C-alpha cells in the first residue's frame, strides 16, 4: 500500500467505510482506495471492540466503535447517520467524501486513463454522483471458486445491473445518507456516465452463503435480506448476458427515469433483471 502524491491543483477526497467480521474485503478496499485517493485520506469504522484489528491497518485512520446488537434496519440507519456525521466533519478538510460499504468499489471507466481522484476533480457537480450499480456474482456453471489473492475482476465476468447499488456514493458538500446509503435525504441523484459501483458481496457462492451462519446477522434479522441477495446466483446462471458497453447508456436512462413511487430520489430497478458481460478493460482493477 503506497500513498499517492497530492497534486496541488487537484481537489482533496476522503473515503469512509465500516466493517465487521470481515474476511477478504477490507484489505482490497484499503489497497484500492489508497491507490486512488491516498492512504492517509481513508477512514475505517471498526464495528465492535471484539474485532481483531490487523497490524497493517495502522496506516489508515481507524475508529473502533462499540457493537450494538439491533435489527438490520435500525443498524443500517444508525450506520448511515454515523457516516454522514463523520463526513460532515471531514468537509472542513476535504472537497468531497466517498462513502461505501467495504465490498463496494467506485471505479472510473478505464478508457479515460485517469485516477478516481483526477476524474472527480473535474466534476462540475452538484450534491452527489452515483456510479452505475454492478452487482457482481459467481456464475456457478462457468466460474471457479474465488481466489482471494487474485483480482476479483480477473475471475468474474458477469454483473446484474442493480439499482440497489447505483448509490450516491460521492458527496460534494455535507449531506445525510439514508439507510444503506441508497439515497441522500432531500436531494436528487445523478448517475455519472463514466462511473461504476462494483458490489462484490456475492462474488463467491461459498463465501456469500456462509454469511447465513453469521450469528450477528441472524440475530439482527438478516435472513430474508441475505436470501434476496443470494438470488443473484440464479439470476446470473439463468440469464442471457448482453454486451455491457452496448447496454450501459440504456441502463442509466431507465434507472434515472423509472423511479419507485415511494422514494423518488432513488433509481428504479430495471425489469427483467438484465445481466451484462463486464468489459475486458475492467480486469485487474479490483
For residue range 53-66, list pLDDT tens digits in order: 999 999 999 999 88
User: Of 157, 12, 20, 19, which is closest to residue 98 (Cα–Cα)?
Assistant: 12
**pLDDT for res 78:** 86
Q: Mean pLDDT, to the nearest integer, of 204-225?
A: 63
Is residue 154's pLDDT more than 80? yes
Concatenating the DSSP letter of every residue in 97-132 gives: EEE--TTEEEEE-GGG---HHHHHHT----SEEEEE
For residue range 222-281, list pLDDT tens digits in order: 455 456 668 899 999 999 999 999 999 999 999 999 998 888 899 999 999 999 999 999
Is residue 212's pLDDT more than 50? no
Q: Mean pLDDT, to the nearest integer, of 22-48?
A: 95
Average pLDDT over the chain, rounded to an integer: 89
**pLDDT for res 124:** 80
For residue range 113-150, list pLDDT tens digits in order: 999 999 999 988 778 999 999 999 999 999 999 999 99
Instruction: Parse the chain into domains and list their residue ranges.
Output: 13-282
pTM (2 d.p.): 0.90
**pLDDT for res 254:** 96
d(CA 26, CA 162): 23
d(CA 44, CA 28): 13
User: Of 67, 79, 77, which is closest to residue 16 (Cα–Cα)?
Assistant: 79
**pLDDT for res 262:** 84
**pLDDT for res 48:** 87
Grid cell digits, residue 203: 462474488
Q: Mean pLDDT, to the nearest integer, of 194-199?
A: 98
Is residue 89's pLDDT more than 70? yes
d(CA 286, CA 284): 6
Q: φ and ψ at 11, to 5 degrees?
A: -70, 160
Pairing of strands 61-65, 96-99: unpaired
**pLDDT for res 57:** 93
**pLDDT for res 72:** 67
d(CA 282, CA 153): 7
Calculate what percentage of the chain has a pLDDT beyond 90. 72
pLDDT band at 5 (very low <50, low <70, confident <90, very high): very low
Q: Mean pLDDT, to the nearest integer, of 22-28?
A: 93
Amino acid at each position: 500500500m503506497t500513498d499517492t502524491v497530492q497534486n496541488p491543483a487537484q481537489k482533496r477526497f476522503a473515503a469512509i467505510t465500516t466493517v465487521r467480521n470481515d474476511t477478504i474485503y477490507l484489505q482490497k478496499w484499503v489497497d484500492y482506495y489508497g491507490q486512488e485517493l491516498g492512504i492517509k485520506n481513508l477512514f475505517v469504522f471498526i464495528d465492535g471492540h471484539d474485532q481483531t484489528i490487523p497490524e497493517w491497518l495502522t496506516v489508515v485512520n481507524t475508529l473502533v466503535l462499540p457493537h450494538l446488537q439491533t435489527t438490520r434496519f435500525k443498524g443500517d440507519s444508525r450506520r448511515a447517520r454515523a457516516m454522514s456525521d463523520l463526513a460532515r466533519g471531514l468537509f472542513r478538510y476535504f472537497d468531497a467524501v466517498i462513502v461505501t460499504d467495504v465490498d463496494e468499489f467506485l471505479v472510473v471507466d478505464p478508457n479515460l486513463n485517469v485516477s478516481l481522484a483526477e476524474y472527480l476533480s473535474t466534476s462540475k457537480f452538484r450534491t452527489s454522483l452515483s456510479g452505475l450499480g454492478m452487482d457482481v456474482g459467481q456464475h456457478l456453471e462457468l466460474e471457479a471458486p474465488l481466489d482471494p489473492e487474485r483480482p476479483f475482476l480477473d475471475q468474474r465476468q458477469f454483473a446484474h445491473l442493480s439499482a440497489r447499488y447505483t448509490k450516491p456514493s460521492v458527496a460534494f458538500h455535507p449531506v445525510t445518507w439514508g439507510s444503506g446509503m441508497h439515497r441522500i435525504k432531500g436531494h436528487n441523484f445523478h448517475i455519472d456516465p463514466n462511473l461504476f459501483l462494483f458490489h462484490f458481496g456475492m462474488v463467491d457462492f461459498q463465501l456469500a452463503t456462509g454469511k447465513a451462519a453469521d450469528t450477528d446477522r441472524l440475530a439482527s434479522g438478516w435472513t430474508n435480506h441475505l436470501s434476496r441477495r443470494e438470488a443473484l446466483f440464479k439470476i446470473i446462471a439463468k440469464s442471457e448476458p448482453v454486451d455491457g458497453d452496448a447496454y450501459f447508456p440504456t441502463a442509466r436512462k431507465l434507472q434515472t427515469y423509472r423511479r419507485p413511487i415511494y422514494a423518488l430520489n432513488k433509481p428504479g430497478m430495471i425489469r427483467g433483471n438484465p445481466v451484462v458481460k463486464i468489459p475486458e478493460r475492467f480486469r485487474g482493477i479490483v
